[in-house]
Amino acid sequence: CTPERGRVRGSSYDLFVEESLDAAADADLVCIAPKRGYRAHHPAAIEAVRAAADRGAYVSAHCTGAWLLGQAGLLDGRECTTHWRYGAELQEAFPEAVVRPEVLYVLDDGVLTGAGSAAGIDASLYLMRRVFGARTAATAARRIVMPPHRSGGQAQFVRTPVGQVEAETLSPVLAWALEHIDEPLPVDRLAAQAHMSPRTFARRFRDETGTTPLQWLTSQRIALAEELLESSPLSIEQIAGRVGFGNAATLRHHFTQALGTTPQEFRRTFTCLEAG
C-alpha cells in the first residue's frame, strides 16, 4: 500500500498499487521495501508505520526501508541493521539507534530490520518461525529453495558464499556436523574432520560462512530443538540430548537467549496453534 493508489515507479519496472495506507490500519505485519529517494518519506506513511507499532503489529523494513522506521521514531534505543553500504549513514541519521551493519537481520521489540538482497528472505523466514513455528517456515523455505535458517548474527559480507564452496572445503564438514549434532563437537574435532589445524579451520570457517563454528552449531541446534518441540513428544531433557546441548538447563539458556522465550513456552504456543 502507498499514500496514494496507482502506479509506482521502480528502478527497472513499475508497480500498480491497489491499496492506500488504510490497508495498514489493521494489519498484523507492515513491511517496508527500499526505494529511490530513501531519505524522504510521506508524512502519512510515517504516521501509519508509527500507529502500527503502537498497536502491537510487527513492523519490518528491508535495506534502506529502515529510514522510514527511523523517521517514525521506531529505531530510537533499538538494535537495527541495513545494507552494509548504508550502515554508517543510518547511524548518523538516527544517532539514538543501535545500528549493527555487520548482521543479516535484527528483531528488537517487534521491529524487524534486514540487510540487503537475500537477507530480506532470511529475515522473513525468521519472523515466520517466530509467529508460525519452525515447520511452517521450513516448508516455505523448501518452496523457494532456501536454507530454512540463517542466524541473524551471521555476517553480511561473506567472501565465499556457502552455496558456492567446493567439495574439498567445508561443505562436507558441515554435513558431517549435522549428522553428529547430538555429540560434543569442539573446534579441534571439526578441524580434524576437515584435515586442518584448529586455527586454520576457525579462520576458514569464518571466511566461508561469516560466523564462528560455535555460533553456527548453536544456531543449528536451536533450529533442530524448535522442530522437535513442535513435532515430537520428547521431554525437554531428551531434546537437549538429541540436539547436542547435553541438558535442559543449557538448552534453556541458549534457546531463551536466541528466541526470547523458553522451550516450554515455545512448545505450548505452537501446540496451541496446531490444535487451533
pLDDT digits over 66-120, tens only?
999 999 999 999 999 999 889 999 999 999 999 998 888 999 999 999 998 788 8
The better pLDDT of the pair 76, 11 is held by 76
Cell 574435532 found at: 189
pLDDT digits over 177-198, tens only?
999 999 999 999 999 999 999 9
- What is the model's pLDDT at position 186? 97
Dist. CA 222–CA 209, nearest whole Å: 18
Dist. CA 82–CA 103, nearest whole Å: 8
Contact residues for 47 (Cβ-Cβ < 8 A; gap 6+): 72
CA quadruple 154, 160, 161, 165: dihedral sign: negative
- What is the model's pLDDT at position 260? 80
Is the pLDDT assigned to residue 167 strictly greater than 70?
Answer: no
Dist. CA 30–CA 28, nearest whole Å: 7
- What is the model's pLDDT at position 66? 97
pLDDT digits over 32-53, tens only?
999 888 999 999 999 999 999 9
The better pLDDT of the pair 76, 18 is held by 76
Contact residues for 1 (Cβ-Cβ < 8 A; gap 6+): 17, 19, 20, 21, 22, 23, 24
Mean per-residue pLDDT, 52-62: 96
Contact residues for 261 (Cβ-Cβ < 8 A; gap 6+): 255, 269
Domains, the chain, ranges and CATH?
6-129 (3.40.50.880), 162-210 (1.10.10.60)
